[in-house]
Amino acid sequence: MARSRKRLIEGNEAIAKARRLRTSPRKLNLLAKMIRGKSVSAALNELAFSKKAISVDVIKCLQSAVANAENNHQLDVDTLIVAEAYVGKNITIKRMRPRARGAGFPIRKPTSDLTIKVREQPEATD
């Protein structure tokens, strides 16, 4: 008999994950901090004009979260905010760089995970 698990997201939330992004978690966290707590349209604007190369993948993940909210949870796209955006560390690819006298120098190529959760902001009643 299967045990029922508690649902991790609420009814007014949607989530999207991007895994194995080829950048360090420290660099990716700068973009995650930049969009956290903002409306989706403002976050997409900031990412579109960001100079960081990884912002293209962050835009894809954010658009995926919006699409999940619209298609899977029937949420209103215009009222969505970025509730959470957090970064996790994934595997590190290890390579060797040849150096003088037969020596090798290690190269570490870090990868990261990005999770974006969008939430429907309740309408403000005046």
pTM for this structure? Answer: 0.88
* pLDDT(126) > 70: no
Q: Where are the beta strands (DSSP E) in 22-98?
A: 80-98
Nearest CA among 116, 23, 99, 11 for reference residue 63 = 116
Q: Taking residues 7-20, report their average pLDDT.
A: 88
pLDDT digits (tens, 9 = 90+) for 31-67: 999 999 999 999 999 999 999 999 999 999 999 999 9
77: three-class secondary structure by DSSP: helix
Please say if the pLDDT value at position 125 is more than 70.
Answer: no
- CB-based contacts of 74: which residues, under 8 Å, 6+ apart? none
